[in-house]
């Protein structure tokens, strides 16, 4: 673990330097990927090291994530709130400058609840066989066997996407999912539109 943390800190220092260097050129807006490499030098075996600079406006949030491994967060501006199902606060990182380790394995997303932009560098360390995944949210419109059709949700408005978009997913474990439920996918595969399961959300899309 000590070796992994040292690797994390070294990469974070490098990423922060790159972040400062590109800030004026790109205005520190949106997403800038800085790192994407596979290594076998860490104690846990073969892993994907990935990272980059992120900027989220006031009131903005990320998609839902299912984490494969821990994340190192270096905040440049603002404060980040990491939330789980039903609005549970998993971590608050900030105010900047701040270095935080987020080892959450469960479903989560981050939110900028502050008055100014949230700017940070994130470094992830995922086992190659189970990478961090960005999930879909939506309302169930049809259930047929193991296949579920979702009307895709809009994370910016807490409503359904306009124009309307639908995706059909083959789900390994449907449990008690029914038409009308607001859900988030778990381990959704964009290539073949499969997912391990769906989780009901008590609020759209939280």
Position 56 in a domain: yes
Is the peptide bond preceding residue 9 cis, with omega within 30 degrees of 0? no
Report whether 74 contacts 103 (CB < 8 A). no
Position 206 in a domain: no
Host domain of residue 158? 135-200
Residue 45 region by backbone torsions, left for phi larger than 0, else alpha for psi between -120 and 50, else beta: left
Do residues 38 and 19 share a domain? yes
Do residues 139 and 73 share a domain? no
Do residues 139 and 49 share a domain? no
Domain count, the chain: 2
Tell me the CATH number at 194. Answer: 2.40.50.320
Do residues 112 and 47 share a domain? yes
What does pLDDT average to in each consecutive run of 10 residues of the chain (206 residues)? Answer: 47 42 39 91 87 94 90 95 89 95 82 93 91 94 96 93 96 92 95 94 90
Report whether 39 contacts 47 (CB < 8 A). yes
133, 150, 168: which is the final residue of a domain? 133
Q: Give residue 103's pLDDT.
A: 65
Do residues 120 and 56 share a domain? yes
Do residues 126 and 61 share a domain? yes
Structure tokens at 82: 């990491």
């Amino acid at each position: 673990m000590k070796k992994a943390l040292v690797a994390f800190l070294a990469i974070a220092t490098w990423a922060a330097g790159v972040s400062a260097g590109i800030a004026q050129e790109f205005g520190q807006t949106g997403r800038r990927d800085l790192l994407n490499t596979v290594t076998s030098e860490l104690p846990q075996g073969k892993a994907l090291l990935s990272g980059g600079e992120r900027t989220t406006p006031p009131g903005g949030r990320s998609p839902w994530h299912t984490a494969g491994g821990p994340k190192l967060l270096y905040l440049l501006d603002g404060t980040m709130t990491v939330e789980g199902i039903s609005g549970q606060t998993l971590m608050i990182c900030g105010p900047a400058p701040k270095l935080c380790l987020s080892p959450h394995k469960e479903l989560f997303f981050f939110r900028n609840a502050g008055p100014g932009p949230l700017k940070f560098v994130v470094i992830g360390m995922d086992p190659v066989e189970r990478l961090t995944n960005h999930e879909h949210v939506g309302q169930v419109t049809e259930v047929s066997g193991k296949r579920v059709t979702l009307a895709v949700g809009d994370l910016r408005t807490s409503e359904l996407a306009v124009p309307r978009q639908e995706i059909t997913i083959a789900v390994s474990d449907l449990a008690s999912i029914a038409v009308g439920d607001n859900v988030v996918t778990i381990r959704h595969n964009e290539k073949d539109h499969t997912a391990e399961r769906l989780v009901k959300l008590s609020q759209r899309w939280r």
